Amino acid sequence: MTRLAIFASGSGSNAVNIIEYFHNKPEVEITKVYCNNPKAGILNKANALGVKTLLFNREEWKSDAILSDLKKEETDVIALAGFLWLIPTDMVAAFPDRILNIHPSLLPKYGGKGMYGSKVHEAVVANKESQSGITIHLVNEKYDDGGIVYQESVPIQESDTPEEVASKVLTIEHANYARVIEEYIQKL
């Protein structure tokens, strides 16, 4: 059995998707949703789904409180789902090749510091790209930089707005992230 922690900062639709996907699968237990944003929609959603949450501030993040909690929970794997803070070196080192992230572009394009949320899709449209997509990758000390585990593209029409691109990309995030996490865990 693999104990999976989820980190989220926002509405948490990917986090909810992961929780629901593993709900009836005894091989994976969701331990907790870790969240840095008191206004994040995921806090209520996780509670409604019976998953514990841990809300923390910058000071707690910089201390060893979160790493201690992950260890206390006997965490095996971490999935970042719309989590916006950089993962500290000691956490990366404590979970080698055990932290996954989903990024809403075809990395290495449109990744790195400051490239998150709507900014990604605005840049994709401004550059008249004919496709975008998702990248599920391992997490290292830099933003959006670790080894790529899975990518899938979506076509973009010239008339697409950033919101329309975001919606297409989110659809394939939901269709793939939990499944790719499951397959990754099976190979560990």
105 binds ligand GRF (CB under 6 A): no
Q: Locate 28 and state its tokens.
A: 């994976």
- Is the Cβ of residue 65 or residue 154 nearer to ligand GRF in the bound state? 154
Piece in contact with ligand GRF (CB under 6 A), picked from 10-18, 22-30, 45-53, 87-95: 10-18
Q: Least separation, in Å, of the C-beta of 117 and ligand GRF?
A: 6
Q: What is the distance, to the nearest Å, from the Cα of residue 47 to the centroid of all Cα atoms in its chain? A: 19
User: Would you tell me how many other CB atoms lie within 10 Å of the CB of residue 167?
Assistant: 13
Interacting residues with ligand GRF between 67 and 96 (CB under 6 A): 81-82
18 binds ligand GRF (CB under 6 A): no
118 binds ligand GRF (CB under 6 A): no
**Which residue is associated with the tokens 């719309």?**
82
CA proximity to 145, closest of 114, 112, 116, 102? 112
111 binds ligand GRF (CB under 6 A): no
Site for ligand GRF (CB under 6 A): which residue of 19, 30, 33, 102?
102
- Is the Cβ of residue 11 or residue 47 nearer to ligand GRF in the bound state? 11
Q: Which residue is nearest to ligand GRF (CB)?
A: 82
Strand-pairing partners, residue 29, are: 3
CA pair distance 159, 115, nearest whole angstrom: 22
Whether residue 26 contacts residue 1, with contact meaning beta carbons closer than 8 Å, is answered with: yes
10 binds ligand GRF (CB under 6 A): yes
14 binds ligand GRF (CB under 6 A): yes
Whether 103 sits among the annotated catalytic residues: the reply is yes
- Here the contacts of 167-170 (C-beta below 8 Å, separation 24 or greater) are 168/132, 169/104, 169/105, 169/121, 169/132, 169/133, 169/134, 170/13, 170/104
Query: Which residues are known to be catalytic?
Result: 103
Residues that bind ligand GRF (CB under 6 A): 8, 10-15, 81-82, 102-104, 116-117, 170, 173
